[in-house]
């Protein structure tokens, strides 16, 4: 995000409850929810102070600037889908790196996704615990798998490799499991935590998002739906909410979420279909149903 050092204002998206992210190489601010872009302003839109806007966070472009200062002679490649106009150009860049066309590679998560860089001997993970924050049920397993993937990129050929992990939570079970190389121990502990909490795979979830340009309309309809949940009660399911979604507004639409938890063997889809069948959506109200959701935003 971009922060004004004079007044503390954070530049947000006009259409979403999200902060605009600075893409320094493109000289643009971008919303990663709706795609809104705008030029980086010279002055703070809140207080008018000039020259006081600063990006916060170790984005790949800022890391590239640090690397250029510390290692001016190194050939540096930056891998980010935002910087390439097509999948073909990105693939060509990856092939150049694999053929030895770069000394230092700075990238987003896509660097970890199965690419083979045979000359890579040192991998670093910046802010390794960032993905552990938030309400995502699968945050721990996703972070664990990602760090293991990144670490595995180093030393895949005939030379040994090393991985360095930067974290503010060195005692977190995810970080400790990676340091010990205890994959099985991590998965056992994660499974036990899910079992005690009654979460998947020991149950099933269904997320419903009601959205409207009017926040009260979305909340009222979601409340009405929650009050008539007899089909869900008959299968032993719980209904949580309604509550504003973690990202409560996207593209100008206010979003209210209901979350259903049902026993693993219960006929969840059939019960949800029966539950929402009487619902009548008027105006610009919309309903999205996500059974076994992968995202909780």
Q: For the chain, which residues make up each domain, given as ranges?
A: 1-56, 60-195, 203-291
Please tell me the pTM assigned to this model.
0.73
Tokens of residue 227, six digits:
């009050």
User: What is the C-alpha to C-alpha distance for residues 56 and 1, in angstroms, rounded to an integer?
Assistant: 6
pLDDT averaged per 10 residues, the chain (length 297)? 82 87 79 87 88 74 86 87 72 82 83 72 83 78 84 70 85 87 89 91 94 94 94 95 90 94 94 93 92 83
With contact defined as beta carbons under 8 Å apart, do 82 and 111 qualify? no
Question: Under CATH, what is the fold of the domain 203-291?
Answer: Alpha-Beta Plaits (3.30.70)
Quote the pLDDT of residue 182. Answer: 87
- The torsion defined by the Cα of 105, 41, 49 and 63, in degrees rounded to 10, comes to 0
Quote the pLDDT of residue 254. Answer: 94
Quote the pLDDT of residue 85. Answer: 65
In the chain, how many H helices and how many E strands? 8, 13
User: What is the C-alpha to C-alpha distance for residues 169 and 187, in angstroms, rounded to an integer?
Assistant: 19
Quote the pLDDT of residue 27. Answer: 79
User: What is the C-alpha to C-alpha distance for residues 182 and 24, in angstroms, rounded to an integer?
Assistant: 39
How confident is the model over 120-143, as pLDDT tens digits?
888 888 888 877 776 678 888 888
Tell me the pairing of strands 104-107 and 203-212: unpaired
Quote the pLDDT of residue 156. Answer: 65
Domain 60-195 bears CATH identifier 3.30.1330.10: no
């Amino acid at each position: 995000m971009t922060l004004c050092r004079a007044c503390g204002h954070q530049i947000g998206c006009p259409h979403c409850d999200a902060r605009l992210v600075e893409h320094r190489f493109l000289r643009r601010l971008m919303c990663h929810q709706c795609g809104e872009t705008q030029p980086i302003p010279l002055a703070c839109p809140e207080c008018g102070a000039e020259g006081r806007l600063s990006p916060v966070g170790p984005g790949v472009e800022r890391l590239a600037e640090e690397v250029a200062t510390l290692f001016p002679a190194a050939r540096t490649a930056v891998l980010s889908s935002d910087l390439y106009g097509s999948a073909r150009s990105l693939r060509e860049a990856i092939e150049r790196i694999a053929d030895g066309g770069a000394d230092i590679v700075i990238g987003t998560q896509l660097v970890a996704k199965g690419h083979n860089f045979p000359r890579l001997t040192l991998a670093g993970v910046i802010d390794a615990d960032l993905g552990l924050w938030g309400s995502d049920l699968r945050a721990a397993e996703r972070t664990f798998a990602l760090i293991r993937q990144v670490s595995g990129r180093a030393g895949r050929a005939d030379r040994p490799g090393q991985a360095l992990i930067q974290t503010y939570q060195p005692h977190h079970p995810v970080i400790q499991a990676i340091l010990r190389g205890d994959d099985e121990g991590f998965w056992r502990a994660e499974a036990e935590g899910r079992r005690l909490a009654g979460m998947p795979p020991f149950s099933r979830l269904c997320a419903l998002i009601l959205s409207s340009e009017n926040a009260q309309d979305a909340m009222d309809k979601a409340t009405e739906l929650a009050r008539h949940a007899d089909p869900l009660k008959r299968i032993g399911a719980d209904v949580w909410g309604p509550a504003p979604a973690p990202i409560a507004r996207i593209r100008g639409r206010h979003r209210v979420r209901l979350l259903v938890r049902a026993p693993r063997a219960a006929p969840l889809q059939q019960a949800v279909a029966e539950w929402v069948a009487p619902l009548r959506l008027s105006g610009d109200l919309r309903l999205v149903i996500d059974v076994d959701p992968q995202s909780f935003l």
